[in-house]
Amino acid sequence: MKMETAGRLRRLPPYLFAEIDRIKREVIRRGADVIDLGVGDPDLPTPGHIVEALERAARDPANHRYALDLGMPVLREAIAAWYDRRFGVRLDPSSEILPLIGSKEGIAHLPFAFIDPGDAALVPDPAYPVYRATTILAGGEPHGMPLLEENGFLPDLDRVARDLPRRARILYLNYPNNPTAAVCDAAFLARAVEFGRRHDVIVCHDAAYTELAFDGYSAPSLLQVEGAREVGVEFHSLSKTYSMTGWRIGFAVGNADVVAALGKVKSNIDSGIFQAVQLAGVAALTGPQEFLPAFLETYRRRRDVLVDGLRALGWRVARPRATFYVWARVPDGFTSASLVRTLIEKAGIVATPGSGLGPAGEGYVRMALTVGEDRIREAVGRMGKCVRSEK
């Protein structure tokens, strides 16, 4: 008997990073030395005081039962205190904060709270695939907003307003941006808030990379904008800042109605975050932060090695001011996909094709700064030989 999947599942493209991982495994099986610049998974270890907090909490039987669905009060209060210190934003821990099993989980569940069949979500192009995919899974229609180099990889909100689909419910934004590494200022976020008010659209800001910034840049929060809480919700993650990708802990903050609706979806789907992980999250947010400058300096040095190396090869690439990604134009004679396939098959280098993150990503490739400087230099050397040989 053939099991036919639901139409919404058939509408989904293959999950990009799963497909890249499949190709990587094939090359490794052939004995290649693979340098993985693909998925943005930090190689720097989680700071020791966070690991120690998890160990203590995991030994306490009180944390072995079901977690509180909407997060421990001590974690909500730690998130509120962090937001106040970092952005000068005061949040109500009981109504404006929702801990998540990683920010991806919350972003993925948001459409199920607000998207009905026939509704639309405004999705950046290129973008983290989850915005588009979960809109489809919720029965909605993703409406692409091209992120163009000439616009600093910011959506043209005036153009979006002219082309606004009927029943648009959510506007997704992500700055500092994955995959382009573009940044925005508070003035752009203010325009987004005004857009949300004018068109009755929820502004969803994925802010997972705000703390990974260089060269004097400091990323703003959507909630610093006057009136943002009327229309907006912001997602943060401990994954990138604290090297906790595998721990799965993040949070949504902002509009109380949006937070409550997201919480209602979650309470019907999951049983909360393991309490030991929640207490480790408290340690991350309230404990020593001295490790962060060292993390940032490591990523900055890696950025410069990769950018300078690619420029020496003749590639066109900007020096990013945030994230741990480099977004580079592909050399002449390649598409995004053909370059990535050449790199993995001929040079053992994993990268992410821009076209896999949206049509407007064609002509670019994303590389993650999640291996050491020596490996990045090795990768640049291989790329130089490989790309010349393919022309």
Q: What is the DSSP string of 87-139?
A: H-----TTTSEEEESSHHHHHHHHHHHH--TT-EEEEEES--THHHHHHHHTT
DSSP state of 283: H
What was the pLDDT predicted at 107? 98
What was the pLDDT predicted at 11? 86
Question: Are 276 and 54 in contact, with CB atoms under 8 Å apart?
Answer: yes
CATH 3.90.1150.10 assigned to 7-45+291-390? yes
Question: Are 310 and 344 in contact, with CB atoms under 8 Å apart?
Answer: no
- Digit-by-digit pLDDT tens for the chain (391 residues) are 678 888 888 888 776 667 777 878 888 888 889 999 998 899 999 999 999 999 999 999 999 999 977 899 999 999 999 999 999 999 999 999 999 999 999 999 999 999 999 999 999 999 999 999 999 999 999 999 999 999 999 999 999 999 999 899 999 999 999 999 999 999 999 999 999 999 999 999 999 999 999 999 999 999 999 999 999 999 999 999 999 999 999 999 999 999 999 999 999 999 999 999 999 999 999 999 999 999 999 999 999 999 999 999 999 999 999 999 999 999 999 999 899 989 998 999 999 999 999 999 999 999 999 999 999 999 999 999 987 655 4
Asked, colleague to colleague, whether 7-45+291-390 and 48-286 share their fold, the answer is no
What was the pLDDT predicted at 48? 98
Question: Are 126 and 354 in contact, with CB atoms under 8 Å apart?
Answer: yes
* Domain ranges, ordered by start, for the chain: 7-45+291-390, 48-286
Q: Can you tell me the distance from the alpha carbon of 306 to that of 32, in angstroms, rounded to the nearest whole number?
A: 21
What was the pLDDT predicted at 16? 66
pTM of the predicted protein model: 0.95
List C-alpha distances in Å: 165 to 3, 37, 132. 34, 36, 15
**Domain range 48-286, its CATH number among 3.30.70.560, 3.40.640.10, 3.30.365.10, 3.30.70.360:** 3.40.640.10
Q: Can you tell me the distance from the alpha carbon of 220 to that of 213, in angstroms, rounded to the nearest whole number?
A: 11
What was the pLDDT predicted at 381? 97
For strand 120-125 and strand 141-146, is the pairing parallel, antiparallel, or unpaired?
parallel
DSSP for 219-248, written as a single string? PPPGGGSTTHHHHEEEEEESTTTTT-GGG-
Q: Can you tell me the distance from the alpha carbon of 222 to that of 254, in angstroms, rounded to the nearest whole number?
A: 9
- Reading phi first (left if > 0) and then psi (alpha if -120 to 50, else beta), residue 151 is in alpha
Residue 170, CB-side half-sphere exposure with 13 Å CA sphere: 33
Which residues, 6+ apart, have CB-to-CB distance to 211 below 8 Å? 219, 240, 241, 292
Could you tell me how far CA 374 lies from the centroid of its own chain? 26
Q: Is the omega angle on the peptide bond into residue 176 within 30 degrees of 0, that is, cis?
A: yes
